[in-house]
Structure 1
């Protein structure tokens, strides 16, 4: 959710944890109350209800239960998503059903594990705190793998993404240099935002204005309304919008950077679960499933 890199993670973690504790924080995909859902009640790895296990007769000791064993026993892999990032993850026309690339991939991974995926929708600002607080088992929401995040979480990479420039009609932003004197919009707290800010601070490229919004949909709305010249965003997202309305959105160029790794995020120490997901992703890659999903959801942007 390459989108998704946060310099303010510690502050967000504290704030989001308070919010999650106060009102449930996460919204289950079936529209139910988070406080009453199993995902909202799931403790983190290492907490008593996760690792306490059962006491074997005569042993006097409790047998540890791994996350993978618990997931397989319950038959459910709980997945945290920010459903505001089409085509990666968003909500269908019924207003509650998650769809998108990450949703299809999560379902495929869950099937490999012999379980079903259950999705918890939560705003991006609180998604890491929700994982670390045990509200779901993994995050599969286009999360960029960064050094900072690897200090807090483990990852299984399944994709790489570059940043694309989606321009309004009459504007051609083909390269980083073309951002100069343009009104640039991004989704806040994303790698695209940080990339453009780095260009401004270190490369001497000065947009007329850089504005950020909580959701990708807001950024593209600014472009459609003529209040912005270009959206800097993950290439698959830009490609999706260009296919959705080619009269309003066009992918005119790409950032001059190496694509970033995207991965499934897990809590630290859940080795068996991480290895099982890695095996599932490797098999889906070898079977061509991941490439098929890229073509299905990304279209012409599948290679970026």
Structure 2
């Protein structure tokens, strides 16, 4: 979450030179060039494609997505075929992050172009090679700053969530599955075929950053019902890993899931849980509940036998927005 002090710091002109240089080295130069009318050149020949207005589980629940295909999705520069095309990573971004041309038009956002959705997709492509990378754009950006994931979880205009239990007719799991299925069909990727309606070898990794973690939290609250629903259980089982990256939102509580029964379902699901945080979120004295809730989240999962992996990044450095974003590079 980019709270008021963060936005003020943006306006004051905090530099991202070091981070931008790092990301430029990650971005590199495309080797295979453009591939198709909607694609663009990207590092190591990977194809970046924007999908606009993809339908979810209802006619009014649409999201834009970016897809970064593996280098060898069709055939790489070296002529080898990809063996991991049914492995997918889905990323939910934080406040102020948007498509690069949108960020360039906003004075408060233009200084953070190094963290545009396109750039983040390229970083994730380095972190997860041989996988399809999906970046889900929030359905609404209030004041061009505050990401709102209303299509996944009930939220106010600033994106603060109101978490609810599983809904067999909607909710985050239904939105995620429908959105991904429709996007895969549009991108001409395998979206069905197995006995459970999923393509053979399909696996899913979920990554939430900052405000985007509200989607992961909503999925946790829905797990009990989703795992019991025969129409959803197979999809849930294909989620292998879930990464929380410095979660935050403008609400006064429930930044991290602390409900023991919800976490019991997460521990029993078999998903690998990863939590990467920075002092910007968990050591902010003005929002002390964030650090406390993070501690409860980790401790409860450990008590329930989940063995979450965790790391406090940049712990010897002052809290900063730069390091808040840099966790995307370091996790």
Class of the TM-score when normalised by the shorter of the 2 chains: under 0.3
Higher relative contact order (CA 8 A, sep 6+): 1
Give the TM-score normalised by the residue count of structure 1.
0.26
Give TM-score, length-normalised by structure 2. 0.24
Structure whose alpha-carbon radius of gyration is higher? 1
More strand by share: 1
